[in-house]
């Protein structure tokens, strides 16, 4: 346990929440991807179902953990965080925000009267993708605040909007 605390600069026990959430999230993602692949290859309800699921999930988990550790190493000097565990919190915020904004765009397009079957896909999908952008911007700061990373995400947001030529939207 001390090795994990030292590696991620954890000084209080509540900060262990972020590595635990990271491990659980990566494991759940690997499992869900393996189940999707299982159905894609039509191996469900076969003898190989659980062998395939657990094998692919374990491989996916290993690959994702290695990738995220590589990302942490690359971003260590670029992101102004005090403790390394904050990087895990930032990654979790990005994951939640991206997924939530994509999910919320569907009901919002329905709310404004654009259903997938009622209009052309050439109109529906660009409008839905354009709706994801403002939802993402708001959720990024909100979820970042919930995870104690408001300052990081507010600065990230300002920088992103300036790079996109939308700096005039900022106060």
* Each residue's pLDDT tens digit, 30-58: 999 999 998 898 888 878 888 999 999 99
Query: Residue 17 — very low, low, confident or very high, per pLDDT cuts 50/70/90?
Result: very high
Tell me the C-alpha distance between 92 and 71, whole Å: 13
Mean pLDDT for 93-97 is: 95
Residue 54 and residue 108 in one domain = no
pLDDT at position 166? 79
Residue 111 and residue 47 in one domain = no
* Residue 51: CA count within 13 A, CB half-sphere: 4
Q: Report percent pLDDT > 90 for the chain.
A: 56
Q: Report yes or no on 85 lying in a domain.
A: yes
Q: Report yes or no on 171 lying in a domain.
A: no
Number of domains in the chain: 2
Q: Are the beta carbons of 26 and 69 closer than 8 angstroms? A: no
Q: Report yes or no on 19 lying in a domain.
A: yes
Tell me the C-alpha distance between 156 and 150, whole Å: 10
Cα angle at 72 between 69 and 73, to 5 degrees?
Answer: 90
List the domain range (segments joined by +) for residue 150: 80-166
Residue 142 and residue 113 in one domain = yes
Report the Cα 136 to chain-centroid distance in Å.
11
Looking at per-residue pLDDT, the higher value among 60 and 162 belongs to 60
Residue 118 and residue 50 in one domain = no
Tell me the C-alpha distance between 91 and 36, whole Å: 23
Q: Report yes or no on 37 lying in a domain.
A: yes
Question: In the listed set 44, 78, 112, which residue is the last one of a domain according to the structure?
Answer: 78
Alpha helices of 76-166 — where are they, by DSSP H? 85-111, 121-146, 150-163
Query: What does residue 41 show for φ and ψ, rounded to 5 degrees?
Result: -90, 5
Residue 17 and residue 51 in one domain = yes
Tell me the C-alpha distance between 71 and 57, whole Å: 21
């Amino acid at each position: 346990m001390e090795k994990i605390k030292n590696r991620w600069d954890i000084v209080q026990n509540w900060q262990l929440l972020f590595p635990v959430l990271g491990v659980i999230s990566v494991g759940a993602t690997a499992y869900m991807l393996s189940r999707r692949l299982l159905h894609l290859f039509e191996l469900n309800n076969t003898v190989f179902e659980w062998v395939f699921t657990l094998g692919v999930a374990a491989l996916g988990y290993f690959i994702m953990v290695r990738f995220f550790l590589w990302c942490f190493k690359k971003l260590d000097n670029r992101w102004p965080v005090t403790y390394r565990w904050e990087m895990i919190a930032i990654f979790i915020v990005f994951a939640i925000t991206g997924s939530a904004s994509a999910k919320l765009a569907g009901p919002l397009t329905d709310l404004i009267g654009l259903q997938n079957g009622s209009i052309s896909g050439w109109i529906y999908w660009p409008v839905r993708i354009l709706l994801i952008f403002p939802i993402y911007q708001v959720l990024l700061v909100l979820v970042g605040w919930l995870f104690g990373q408001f300052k990081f995400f507010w600065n990230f947001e300002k920088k992103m909007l300036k790079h996109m030529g939308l700096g005039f939207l900022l106060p």
